[in-house]
Amino acid sequence: QVQLVESGGGLVQSGGSLRLSCVASKNIFGIYVMNWYRQAPGKQRELVSSVTSSGNTNYADSVKGRFTISRDNAKNTVYLQMNSLKPEDTAVYYCNAHYLIVDYWGQGTQVTVSS
């Protein structure tokens, strides 16, 4: 079993920045794909960004050029640096670890961007 704990959410003005962190209870980055998802009220959960075990990264079109995913293997931590935030980025952000048919989820952290 793996526990994921997110932090770093909050209220920020449009154009501002936040950095989300996700700490894993075990060293899993060599196997699991680490993802950041988000879910806005009334909308489906969507994939925001991923980093594979080999370090390849992917981003949703809506956040390309503004968000950066990274990880610190020594700290078992994945980050999501979010710049130039927009009101439409408002959502609960979830950390996910995925490998084959296994998924672990964090509890989520709220990000609210005011206009």
- Contact between 78 and 95 under an 8 Å Cβ cutoff? The reply is yes
pLDDT in tens, the chain (115 residues): 999 999 999 999 999 999 999 999 999 998 999 999 999 999 999 999 999 999 999 999 999 999 999 999 999 999 999 999 999 999 999 999 999 999 999 999 999 999 9
- Total count of residues recorded for the chain: 115
Going by their DSSP bridges, the two strands 109-114 and 10-13 should be labelled as parallel
The DSSP bridge partners found for residue 86 are none
Are the beta carbons of 105 and 94 closer than 8 angstroms?
yes
CA 35 from centre of chain: 6
Residue 53 contacts residue 102 (beta carbons within 8 Å) = no
Residue 23 has what DSSP assignment? E
